[in-house]
Amino acid sequence: MFKLNLKIALRNLWRNRIITSINVGGLAIALAAFILVVMYFTYETSFDKTNPNYNNIYVVGRIYPDFKTNYTSPPFAKAIKQNFPEVENAGITKRGFFEFTMKNGKNTLFAKNFMQADYNAAKILDLKPTGGLEKPAGEVDRLSYLSEESMKVLYPNKTDNKPEMVGMGSSNSGITSKINGSIINNLHSNITFDGISIGNEIGQGENYGMNNYTTYIQVKPGTDVANLEQKITKLYRNELLKGETDQKTIEEIKSISTFLDPLSNQHLKPKAGNDAPYKILIALSVLGILILVIACINFTNLSIAQATKRAKEVGIKKVMGAYRFQLTTQFLAEIFIQCLFATVLALIVAELVLPYFNNLFQINLSVWHIDNDLIWQLPLILCLITLIAGIYPAIVLSGFKPALVLKGNFSTSKQSYWLRNSLLVFQFSIAVIFIIGLFIINSQLKYMRSEDLGFTANQVVYIKNQTLFNNPVKFGSLNFESVRDKILKIPGIKSATVATDVPDGAENGTNGYTFEGVQSSLDFVDVDFDYFETLDIKLKQGRFFSQSFSTDTANSAVINESAVAKYGMKNPVGKTIKGCNIDYKIVGVIKDFKAQGFESAVQPTIYTIKNPCGNYKTQIMLKIEENKMADALATLKAQWPQINPKDGQDFRYEFLDELYGKLFKKQEQLQSVFFAAALLTIFIAILGLFAFAKYITNGRIKEIAVRKILGASDIQIFKLINRSFLVMVLLANVISWPVAYILTKKWLETFAYRIDLPVLPFMSSALITILLTVITVSIQAKKAVKANPVDALKYE
């Protein structure tokens, strides 16, 4: 019987091969998208899952009344381990806070993140140096490892695992350091590094004020974590309160608590951090499911539309003694075969699209991977879509009454008519939402790219530098003047400056400043002469820093408009603002500029040359004439060791506009995703419409023939056939507009600087869908219109 059913199925599919290929093709494309989403979802939710103690590891963080942080101090881990028996192990790690250079002959490695970890943390985090994790013993205080990739950069031909001595900094620095071997840097982990130094203990001698470390604890299985959290908070307060007498401080300490954040939360939704990646993942998953559902709807729709053709078969089989259950399974099996075929196609499509997908999300997924979760996910998906797409038609088809259908008294019931139409409306609604979304994302991005930033990033070159500059010079730093003089000698370079921060979206430091008795917190950026000129920032009042005023390196400050507004200053130039024990004289007010991109509002900021509380200035920026850019860069590269001898021979630079452009990356990703989704949903919906219109038109051939005989013109027939579809598409637009309005409005609200919600996308989406519908339906209608009416009636 199976063989015979298979035959019927295959012959049926072949006879309706256009519809079949539309059905299978559409599903395959949607399924490919879904497979990618599933793979991405699996990847994103399984960071560190290979750690054998995955479920028992927690990060210990701190909660202040106004913020949460994962940074803790070294003694805390030890105290936790000593006090609570349910804590099996506790350790700390410290990120590398600046990039440094490592050399082996001509091979250079720029290690952005050379981490430190104590042995306990290394054990908890399942770090795997080649040859196994070793505890530093005896005189050896620390064991340093390079990630396998980093090791390859420095020692491309290394095959053994013997220790190596590497040069630190520039070749002439003479500093060397021992690397004990290589270590696996698991990119699918929250803990990644270029290199790591594992100590028996790290952060010795540091007290509870040094919150530069991350504390990991591993608890015994079955531990009551909420209870432990409370106990740890108590412990933390007690430790801080030791020897404290100041009542205000005591009160402050009592307001601090701690939290335990599972390792599984770290990648997507850390308690101290934002859960945007998690939200994006959820949004993406919903999107994947929607696309698949739409493709399944095509299946359901077409299968029911085909019902008339299959009704006779059902009737005959029932007369022959087939049970309803047998017929249901037969139809399900047919749909299963199509779904299976679609799945195979989908895998091929997914494999073809994967490079772009990987590139877009900066990951490295692969379909053909041995321990790929797809092995069990795929059959599950297959069964699921077979059920979603097939169960309703299977039940409808198998439920036909033979006495009716064999007499030809068959018409699709009203119920399924409504169902089919509502499914079509649903499909188009989703497509419309994506189209509107895409238009609005495009508009916002266009706005971001064209809007005045308040500074000019074009032709500004940012040079990566490790020399510390300060003016006036403090311990270990240099004055930038000599470097600037040498740089400005190169033709084409208009200005040069150094600062603590470049306007690339990074957050600035904050500190308290007092103006006319009002204390408030301001962002601070420590700059050097020509900072504003290099970035082409507009002056509102007063002046920029200038070498002709000797006081500028002592106590001059420039503030921005937001700072003026924050203090409610009137005529601020010449007035004094106090911070870090210096009475700064405000010499100028600049217009606000969007250093942090479009998502956050411009912060009230103070710019000073001297700031004892600030950081060292390392970020060099040059303004270079466009037509001399290439020459100037070549000269800089050649002369860099002489210009900036402490930085060494490595001249590395980036264009500031590209750096700033990275701020749009998230939006550009979203744009790509929406573009693909809009295209896919509209494509699948149109495919469904195409096939659906074909069936509807076929079903109305006799009606059309009669109308033609009675004198209907071609146009009238076109109108007749298009009308019901147009109503559905218009309905879809009306339904999706409020949804799209709410969603896009919410999205736009994440930007401090945004467009007003435009009306045009809503109109355009209606126009696009209507146009596509008319074209699609008319192609089908044309055949019916052009046919000779006599043929249709004779057939009848």
Partner 1 sequence: MIRIENLEKVYKTEEVETTALNGINLHVKAGEFVSIMGPSGCGKSTLLNVMGLLDKPESGSYKFIDTELLTLNDRERSNFRKRNMGFVFQNFNLIDELTVFENIELPLIYNKIPAGERKTLVNEIIERMNIVNRSGHFPQQLSGGQQQRVAVARALVTKPKLVLADEPTGNLDSSHGNEVMELLCELNETGTTIVMVTHSSHDASFSNRIINLKDGHVISEKINKSRNEELI
Question: Which residue ranges make up the site for partner 1 (CB under 8 A)?
Answer: 1, 4, 7-8, 11-12, 15, 312-313, 315-324, 401-403, 406-408
Min separation Cβ 13 and partner 1, Å: 10
Residue 747 near residue 439 (C-beta atoms within 8 A): no
660: enclosing H helix or E strand: helix 656-661
Specify burial of residue 41 (Cβ count, 10 A radius: 0-12, 13-18, 19+). middle
- The residue among 104 and 398 lying less far from partner 1, judged by its C-beta, is 398
Per-residue HEC secondary structure of 27-95 comes to: HHHHHHHHHHHHHHHHHHCCCCCCCCCHHHEEEEEEEECCEEECEECHHHHHHHHHHCCCEEEEEEEEC
Q: How many residues does the chain have?
A: 796
Closest approach, Cβ 401 to partner 1, in A, equals 8
The least CB distance from residue 149 to partner 1, in Å, is 59
Q: Which is nearer to partner 1, 7 or 369 (CB)?
A: 7
Q: Which is nearer to partner 1, 140 or 316 (CB)?
A: 316
Q: How far apart are CA 175 and CA 155, in angstroms?
A: 18
Q: Using the minimum distance from each CB to partner 1, give the nearer residue, 218 or 328.
A: 328
| DSSP track, 314-327 | HHHHHHTT--HHHH
CB of 790 vs partner 1, minimal distance in Å:
21
- Kindly tell me which of 317 and 566 has the beta carbon lying closer to partner 1: 317
Minimum distance of partner 1 from residue 19's CB (angstroms): 15
Least distance to partner 1, CB of residue 320, Å = 4
Beta strands in 200-353 (DSSP E): 213-219, 257-262
Using the minimum distance from each CB to partner 1, give the nearer residue, 320 or 759: 320
Q: Smallest gap, in angstroms, from Cβ of residue 407 to partner 1?
A: 7
Least Cβ distance, residue 322 to partner 1 (angstroms): 6
Shortest distance, position 340 Cβ to partner 1, whole Å: 20
Q: What's the angle, vertex CA 58, arms to CA 55 and CA 60, rounded to 5?
A: 170
Nearer to partner 1, 2 or 97 (CB): 2
Q: Cis omega before residue 761 (within 30°)?
A: no
* Complex with partner 1: residue 5 or 603, whichever CB lies closer: 5
Spatial contact of 440 and 758, defined as CB atoms under 8 Å apart: yes
Closest approach of Cβ 416 to partner 1, in Å?
18
Is the Cβ of residue 316 or residue 565 nearer to partner 1 in the bound state?
Answer: 316
C-alpha closest to that of 305 among 427, 416, 426: 416
Tokens read off for 285: 């998953």
Given a contact cutoff of 8 angstroms between Cβ atoms, the answer to whether 791 and 450 are in contact is no
Q: What are phi and psi of 176, to 5 degrees?
A: -125, 160
Q: Which is nearer to partner 1, 14 or 67 (CB)?
A: 14
Closest CA to 435 of 682, 759, 734, 757: 682
Separation of alpha carbons 796 and 790, rounded Å: 10
| Contact predicate 180/136, CB 8 Å | no
For residue 233, the surrounding DSSP H or E stretch is helix 225-241
CA proximity to 219, closest of 46, 59, 48, 47 = 59
